[in-house]
Structure formats: C-alpha cells, structure tokens
Amino acid sequence: MKERVIELLKDKKYNAVRKEILELNAVNLADILEELDIENALIFFRMLPKDVAVDVFSYLSNEHQMEIINSITDKEIKHIMDELFFDDMIDVLEEMPANIVKKILKNTKEEERKLINQFLNYPENSAGSIMTIEYVGLKKMMTVKEAMEHIKKTGIEKETIYTCYITDESRKLEGIVSLRKLVTSDETKTLEEIMETNVIYVNTHDDQEEVAHLFKKYDFIALPVVDKEHRLTGIITVDDIMDVIEQENTEDFHKMAAMEPSEIEYLDTNTLTLAKHRIAWLLILMVSATFTGRIIQRFQDVLQSVVILAAFIPMLMDTGGNAGAQSSTLIIRGIALGEIKTKDFFKVILKELRVSSVVGFALAGINFLRIYYLEKIELKVAVTVTGTLFVTIVLAKIVGGILPIIATRFKLDPAIMASPLITTIVDAVALVVYFSLAAWILGI
Amino acid sequence: MKERVIELLKDKKYNAVRKEILELNAVNLADILEELDIENALIFFRMLPKDVAVDVFSYLSNEHQMEIINSITDKEIKHIMDELFFDDMIDVLEEMPANIVKKILKNTKEEERKLINQFLNYPENSAGSIMTIEYVGLKKMMTVKEAMEHIKKTGIEKETIYTCYITDESRKLEGIVSLRKLVTSDETKTLEEIMETNVIYVNTHDDQEEVAHLFKKYDFIALPVVDKEHRLTGIITVDDIMDVIEQENTEDFHKMAAMEPSEIEYLDTNTLTLAKHRIAWLLILMVSATFTGRIIQRFQDVLQSVVILAAFIPMLMDTGGNAGAQSSTLIIRGIALGEIKTKDFFKVILKELRVSSVVGFALAGINFLRIYYLEKIELKVAVTVTGTLFVTIVLAKIVGGILPIIATRFKLDPAIMASPLITTIVDAVALVVYFSLAAWILGI
C-alpha cells in the first residue's frame, strides 16, 4: 500500500493519492511521508485533510517536522500548534532550533506563551517534561449525569477521558474517578460519593523512570502530576510511558557498552557525534588496560622462561571477562527492574560464590582434560592454567555481582559497571593470579 | 505504613490490621503479603474482603500464589479462580505444578475447562498466551444508547471497557468503537455508523514482540486477537504489553551477555539453574578463545625476540573488543526498535567506517604519544602497536556493525552478536594484525 502511494505521487496522480489517503490512518500516512523527498512530502502533507494533517505531524520524526515547519506558512503553523495536544507541541518545540521556536511562539497568545515557557523549563526527563494539560477536570459536587454531559461536550479535545480528575477551587487534587466507574454508577450519585481519594500521583520534578515504575506496578492508564502546592498541573498517559521505558532501556544498553547514551536514531546521527559518544570511555578503558600490560611486563622473566604461558592469556582474559559480564548484567538488570536492592548485597555475594563455583568447576575441568590430554601440555602448565581459570571465574563473578550494587549505593548509575569496565578489572586480576601461580607451581 | 501493618500482624492485633487494610490498595496489600512468613501470610490473606483478596492474589509472585493455593480450601480456590480475569488465571495455571493444576481444574465447569486447555496450548510468547477473554462485545445494529446500557450492566467484569468490539453472528470481527466515541456520539446513532472498520488486529499465534511493536507504534490501549477464521478470540491490554516489553528487553540483556534468558527474578533462581544458563556460552567462547591462543603460539618466535610486545596484548584486545561491542550494541538495539533494517547493511558499513576512522585516529594518536614519549618505547615497536590499534578499531567496528545485521538476515537473533562473541572474533583479528605488522616492521 505504502509503495503504491509513493509511486502514485511520483507519477503526479494526485487524485488517486487523495483517494488512498482516506483509507489510511495517521501512523501509516506518517510512514509514507517519511519516505518522500522534501518536495513531494510537502505536496503530500498539504493534500491531507486539515485535522488528519495535525495527527500525522505528531507522528513524524523531528527532522521531518522541522522541514515542514520551515516550508509552510505562519497560518498553517498556527493551525498545527493550536490543534496538537499540548505535550506533543512541547516535544516539537524542545527539538527545534531557537529561530523556529521564535517563529512558532510569535503566533501564540500571551497566556499560552507563558504556559509553554513554564513547560520548556521543566528538567529533561522529569515528569513535568512529559505531561500534558489536556485532562478532564471535574468538581466533586457534580452528579454522575452532569459529569457525563461535561465529558460528552469536552471529551474530544482531551488526551484521555478514561480517568477524570476532581479538583477544588484552588486546583488542588481531591480525587479521581474512572470513566468505567462513571458509566457503571447510578446517574444521580455525586462524584464525591464515588471518587477515589487515595490517589497515587507524581510531582513535576520526579524522574520519568520513577513514573514508569509506578505505571508498571499499578497498571495505570494515566497518572496525575502535581506541583509543590499539590495543585494538579497535568497528566501523563501510558502511551508516553511506553516511549520512556524504551528510552530508559536504550540508555542502559548504551551505557553498558561504554557509550554516552543517545536518543537520536543511529542512522540519523552524524559521524562526529557518534565518534564523540564512543571515544571518552574507550580512552579511559584503553589507559586502564595498559596497567594490565604492566603486569605482563613485571612478570616478563616468567613469560620468557615458559613462553607457552602466553598462549593461554587470551582464553583466561576472555573467559574471566565473560563470566564477570554475565553476573554484572544480571545484577544491573535486576536493579533497573527494582528486583535487587542494595540490602541484597550479601545475598548476591553468596549466590555468585555458589554459582561461580559450579561454573568454574565445570569449565576448569573441561579445560584441563582438553589441554592435558588433547593438546599434551606439560602437567604443571596445565595445572597452572586450570587453577587460574577457576579462581578467575569465581573472582570475576563476585566482582561483577557486587560492583553494580556498590555503584547504586554511591548514587552512581549501576549500568556503568558493565562488561567493559568489569573486563578491564578482571583481566588484571586474571593475569596477576596466572603469573603468581605459574611462578609458584613452575618454581621460576 | 507497610512496616506498621507487619508489626501489627506479628503482635496479633488483628482488629487494627483490618482497619489498615481498608486504607490500602491491592498492589500495596500484595507487597505486604510478600514480606510475611507463610503462616502470617495466610492469616492476612483470609482477613482481606473477598473481592479484594482476588485482586491481591493476582499481584502476588508465583511462589506466593502457589503457597496460598496449597493452603486454602477447594471452595476458596474456586472463588479465586471464578473471580480472576481469565488471562491472570491462565498465568497462574501456567506456573503451577501439574498436581495443583489438577486440583484447580477439578473445580471448574466442563465448558470452562475446555477453554482453559485451549489457552494453555497457545505457544509460549504468542499473542494467544497473553490475551484475555473479558472484552465488551457489541452488535452493529445496536444504538449508542443500547451499547452504553449494555456496558453499564456488564462493564465491571471486563478487563477494559474503553475499546469495544463489534462481531457478527459467527463471532467474526467487524469493527471497534472506543468508549470515547460512544460517550461523545449522538445516542440515537447505530454502532454501524460510528464504528471503525479499518481495524488493526493480531493472530493468536503472532509473537508477543510484534504485538508490542504495534502498541508502541499506534499508542493503543487494547488490541483484538483473532483466530485463523478471523473470529475474535480475545484482547490484549496495554498493561500486559508493558510487561512484555520489559521481558523482551531483559531477554536481550541476558543474550547480549552470553546467557540463556530467564524470566525468573535473579534472587528467586537457584544456583544450578543460574549456572546452567551461563555455562554453555562460556564454554563455546572459551574454546573459541583457545584459537586466539594458537595465534600467539604460531608467532612464538616473534614474541620471544621482542618480549615487550606481550605487554600490549591486553590493551589491544580490550580496546578492540570494546570498540566492536559499542557498534554491535547500537546496531542490535536499532534492530530491536525497528530503526535499522537488513537493507541498511551498506549504510551501516559506511557509517562505521567513518566513525571508526575518527575514533581510531584519536585513540591511536594518543596511544602513540603516550608510549613513545612517556614510556620511551622503541619507535618501531610504538609504530607497530599504534598501527595495530588503528586497524583493530576499524575492523572491530565494522565487524560489530555488520554481524547483527547478517544474523537478522539468516533469521537468527541479532542479540547473540554482542560483546562476548564480537570480542572473541576481534581478539583473533587483533593478534594476527599485531604479529604480522611486528614481523614486517621489526624485520623478524
């Protein structure tokens, strides 16, 4: 379907395109628009019915939104900004360069401009920065019937009508009532009788990650956001939280691979930005790894007398690094999901001690059989390698298990204690164990 | 609050506990129950009002659910099973040992038992396995008023009433209508006039990951599930999808750290299971790393004549591994989020070539200055190390970038092409480059 519309556009069969447009939803229309060059994108965008155009606009990537804003008239911009949900508008404004923001703001009313500025000032990744103001506000003296009539009149413009918010004259949050409750309640009851007063809410400055935790824990569709005076300032809906969850996960993936996290899609990021995100950590790790090199230098005479020892260095380093990375990943993920807390420190140590003994025993055993019987390596060397392997796996798993917890304890992000850093630490440990053991067993 | 209730229970102040219970929601009550020993947990569970007890039960961990099922009467079990949402009941049954499942099933009606068996047979992680049957079903000839009355009567028992499903006499899905649309539409209109017929749906056997993609893309609250004959068999709601998203992310984290993925929380998994999940990959990687060792063995004479070369092996291996892991993580994550497709293969190569050149140049430069000027390493050796570092970074980033795409092309999970495997491959490459360059530059 997508390909056909693009074909039709290129052939300038605009009437046929108009027909197709009626069949498609906003998400698919946005998909098509993203595939077009700017000229055709603009033609296509202007073919959309006015209200559909706004919806489609909200689903476009920032790059395409910018291109369109740059090419359309002030009047068209004003229409889009008026019709967009408030949180979508803020998202657009946050990503635009200053000159375009000015261009947009000049078309809004004084009062709205003030509100926009307030929203733009919420810290990045705070509840305030992802909330919207289009909620259904009700009063507790209303009857169910009055409430339903109010929703009928204003519901179309709201982000969600499935949870409604009851506030007093000074906008303080008094309770919530779900549309389900309204629909299934007696029409003559007042909201005060049926509303839920034990409301779970967040503050404008709470971190979006905590908000996401609440959504996951309580299976909410929406959550109210209040300011310091407990006045209702907005709501957050579940669809925005799904984006937050993916964004937080992406951040963890990036950090765990020793990169600065980025919200921009890989293919849309330019070379220098990508390089910048990667260099700092690589450099730190590279310099750390040279200390590991020093260890080899220090044991140069051991190595020189039994050169075969060098052949097992990669295997010991890699296996140690991998063993540590497994443990640290499990713990980092467990902390992120709220399953593991700092108080579990000793439980984790004990568990990793047990698991690593089993894993270490199995791997060291197989390794010994292989190098002694198959590769016919001298017994003393085989014992040295096998012993080192076992000790390294146990140490690696304990280090990998506790460093993320220690990081959390010191209010650092546990995700930095992942594979790259663990590997560097474990490498050094493995080599010290290896050469010390070699010097002792081989009597060098 | 939680601590107080637990205190009160231990002091056997049951009346005070009953009072506290009224103030708390099901999620918090479940939290409290999880902290109690089995004896107090049971006392506490039986204090809960009957309908609250069912809700609390659905929020408990499988272990606690099992403990309770084991300790309560058949009649109590029947009540819980009758009142649980169908998908929650299926979740419970899936995790219980066979004897308990039998105990539960013996208390259900023939008809329901058939349905339960059908649900238990959907493949793990399929749409069928996470859907529920409690949806609002309507007919297209109903007026809005009739539909609202129907919802008022049956709505309480439904998982969601915010999207309603219109089916024909043979249960084929004809359209959907949101409660928002119903509430804001003229009461005399028929559903046929206002329903959305261009419905997005999934099949019972679709993978839950695809379902999650649809939710994220279209911002749904619920999605219908149909069978091969296009008959409506259930719905999936957004709260279950949030769990799916976290579960899929956890799976990727685990796979990327070379472990078999697990859905059970770390602290609840026993030692042998944890060990089993880790050993297989460690073993494969350990054996692969011995090939890297062979490379060192083959170049033993180069190493013996310039032993200082050994000191740079850890730094070269680690930096190469880290550089490759960065790229593979970005690509794996991009593929998981649907941002990178197999057709982007050459774009990725080009991008990684550019990025790695910048990163490689910076790192190699700094490395040269450090080892030649600070560590006073011989020029030829410094050049060998620096050259290897540059080539390794470029190769590592290209390998890390394309392997996940190649895996996708061959219908393998790209997540296996992560740090551990990339590191092993890059290590071998780095050493071959290193010793070849050394032999050539140093003329050995």
Using an 8 Å CB-CB cutoff, list chain A residues near B25: 198, 218
Task: Please list the residues that pair with B232 across neighbouring strands.
Answer: B226
User: Residue A256's pLDDT is what?
Assistant: 92
Q: Does B298 touch chain A (CB under 8 A)?
A: no
Residue B379 domain-assigned?
Answer: yes
Render pLDDT for B51-80 as a digit per residue (tens, 0 to 9): 888 889 888 888 888 888 888 888 888 888
Does B34 score more than 80 pLDDT? yes
Confidence of residue A40 (pLDDT cuts 50, 70, 90): confident
Report DSSP letters for A104-130, one per residue. HHTTS-HHHHHHHHHHHTSPTTBHHHH
Last-in-domain residue among A95, A121, A147: A121
Distance from CA of A320 to the nearest CA of B (A): 9
Cβ-Cβ pairs closer than 8 A, A with B, add up to 323
Best of B34, B253, B417 to disrupt the A interface (most A CBs within 10 Å) is B253
Between B369 and B157, the higher pLDDT residue: B369
What is the pLDDT, as a whole number, of residue B73? 83
**In this structure, are A7 and A100 located in the same domain?**
yes
Contacts of A333 in chain B (CB under 8 A): 250, 253-254
- Asked which of B71, B95, B121 is the last residue of a domain, the reply is B121
**A422 contacts A396 by C-beta, under 8 angstroms:** yes
Residue A126 lies in a domain: no
Residues B110 and B193 grouped into a single domain: no
Among the ranges given (A111-125, A172-186, B207-221), the one the predictor scored with the smallest mean pLDDT: A111-125
Q: Are B164 and B283 in the same domain?
A: no
User: Does A294 sit within 8 Å of B267, measured CB to CB?
Assistant: no
* Residue in chain A lying closest to B344 (CA): A267
Which CATH number do you get for residue A43?
1.25.60.10
- Say if residue B176 is in the same domain as residue B95: no
The band of A206, judged by pLDDT with boundaries at 50, 70 and 90, is very high
Reported as a single tens digit per residue, the pLDDT across B252-265 is 999 999 999 888 88
Helices (H), B299-372: 300-305, 313-336, 345-368
Q: Is B207 part of any domain?
A: yes
Domain assignment present for residue B54? The answer is: yes
Residue numbers in B near A427 (CB within 8 A): 314, 318
Out of B161, B329, B337, the one facing A183 most closely (by C-beta) is B161
CA pair distance B336, B414, nearest whole angstrom: 9
pLDDT of residue A202: 95
What's A383's domain CATH number? Answer: 1.10.357.20
Query: Do B314 and A219 lie within an 8 Å CB cutoff?
Result: no
Considering the domain architecture, whether residues A337 and A414 belong to the same structural domain is answered as yes
Residue A127 in domain: no
Residues B161 and B106 in one domain: no
Taking only the tens place, the pLDDT of each residue in A351-378 is 999 999 999 999 999 999 999 998 889 9
Contacts of B198 in chain A (CB under 8 A): 23, 25
Torsion of the alpha carbons at B355, B251, B271 and A320, rounded to the nearest 10: -10
| A290 touches B at CB < 8 Å | yes
Q: What is the mean pLDDT of residues A299-325?
A: 89
CATH at B175? 3.10.580.10
In this predicted structure, what is the pLDDT of residue B214?
93
- Above 80 in pLDDT, residue A333? yes
Considering the entire predicted model, what is its pTM?
0.84
B116 and B175 co-located in one domain: no
What percentage of residues in chain B have a pLDDT greater than 90?
A: 52
Q: CB distance from B74 to chain A under 8 Å?
A: no
What domain range is A174 assigned to?
136-236
**How far does A228 lie from chain B, in Å, by closest CA?**
23
Assess if residue A250 is contained within a domain.
no
Tally of domains in chain B: 3
- Tell me: pLDDT of B352 over 80: yes
pLDDT tens profile B300-316: 888 888 888 888 999 99
* Interface touch A242/B319, C-beta < 8 Å: no
Kindly report the nearest CA distance between residue A60 and chain B, in angstroms.
Answer: 12
Whether residues A299 and A412 share a domain: the answer is: yes
Measured CA to CA in angstroms, residue B439 lies from A311, B309, B312, B385 at distances of 18, 11, 15, 12
**Across chain B, how many H-helices and E-strands are there?**
22, 6
Residue A70 has pLDDT above 80, yes or no: yes
Contact assessment for residue B84 and residue B58, using Cβ atoms and an 8 Å cutoff = yes
Return mean pLDDT, chain A.
89
**Could you tell me if B10 and B104 lie in one domain?**
yes
Q: What is the pLDDT of residues B271-291, one digit of tens each?
A: 999 999 999 999 999 988 888
Same domain, A397 and A338: yes
Residue B252 belongs to a domain: no
For residue B322, tell me if it sits in a domain: yes
Verify that B279 and B225 share a domain, yes or no: no
Q: Which of B217, B237, B257 is the last residue of a domain?
A: B237
Does B280 lie in the same domain as B366?
Answer: yes
| Cβ atoms of A174 and A197 closer than 8 Å | yes
A414: pLDDT strictly greater than 80: yes
Site of tokens 């049954």: B93
Which of A36-40, A128-132, B375-379 is predicted with the least confidence, judged by mean pLDDT?
Answer: A36-40
Residue A203 has pLDDT above 90, yes or no: yes
Q: How far apart are CA B384 and CA B377, in angstroms?
A: 11
